[in-house]
Amino acid sequence: MSVDEKFDAACELLYRLDPTKVKSHLQSLIALEPEIAEGLLSTIDVPLTVKKDSDSNNKEFLCCDYNRDIDSHRSPWSNTYFPELSAKDLEESPFPSEPLRALELACNNSFELYRDLYYEGGITSTYLWDVDESTDFAGIILFKKAESEDAKWDSIHVISATNDEDGNQVTYNVTTTVILHLENLSKEQQLSLSGNLTRETSKTVKLRNVSTVEQLVHAHSSNLGSMVEDIESKLRSMLEVVYFEKTLDIYNVLRESNDASTKLQKEQHSELIENFQKL
């Protein structure tokens, strides 16, 4: 079996296994086939982990494969890797260029305001990296909200920005994945809903009255903010209106329809919806 066939088979397997255990399944597959590790880590989304930046008053930041180097993760606040890397490793560690670092900081500050408005809590982190030696760039915007162990939301936006030859317009591509876990534990029954939803979107925007680095930073952060706001709103509506209602319909068909079970179903469904609305 070729490397590509092994990778495709691993992806198919992961899509069909219990989504609440995707991280352990991913680690097991990498241990079996180390040669497909890089492809799996960049393709399969797992719930985000959290670290603290001791150089920025222990401010929390989110960790994923995109801000990882060896076993350390770069903080968007201090631009430092935690745990600390050796001087030799730091020479080869990826860091954004100075202009892109300014945009990264602006995006982190902007999305903190967005998080407070829309999530009313949680954690957000944005990481950017240069593409070759051009003015194009790529990055990832992360949100995590865990109201409790029974209600968790991870939102992952992988972005790219490509400028035209004249530099007068830029095309943004965003691939968004939402990882949702809701659980209702009761004496009568256990009901859980877990999984992920991925969508792609793109937008071409003309850059008007942009002549300085500060204006360019403002334009990029505003454009990315509006795209993230739009796609998250759509995905949230899809989850709440389509998936929850469809789940309830299936549940009602599969279970015997009597007064006691119907009442329990409605109570469990209402509790899941309530947990979802808190995220």
pLDDT confidence bin for 17, thresholds 50/70/90: confident
**What is the pTM for the complete model shown?**
0.82
| pLDDT of res. 158 | 94
Rounded Cα distance between 227 and 186, Å, is 39
**pLDDT tens across 194-225, in order?**
778 889 999 999 888 777 888 888 889 899 99
> Can you say whether the dihedral through the CA atoms of 265, 238, 10, 22 is positive or negative?
negative
**pLDDT tens across 164-177, in order?**
877 788 999 999 99
| pLDDT of res. 7 | 85
pLDDT confidence bin for 6, thresholds 50/70/90: confident
Burial of 26 by CB count in 10 Å (0-12 exposed, 13-18 middle, 19+ buried)? Answer: buried
Describe the strand order of the beta sheet including 137-148 as a list of residue ranges.
Answer: 123-130, 137-148, 151-163, 169-185, 190-206
Q: Is CATH 3.20.20.60 the classification given to domain 98-278?
A: no
> Can you say whether the dihedral through the CA atoms of 100, 101, 102, 104 is positive or negative?
positive
pLDDT confidence bin for 108, thresholds 50/70/90: very high
pLDDT confidence bin for 39, thresholds 50/70/90: confident
Domain range annotation of the chain? 1-44, 98-278
| pLDDT of res. 279 | 63
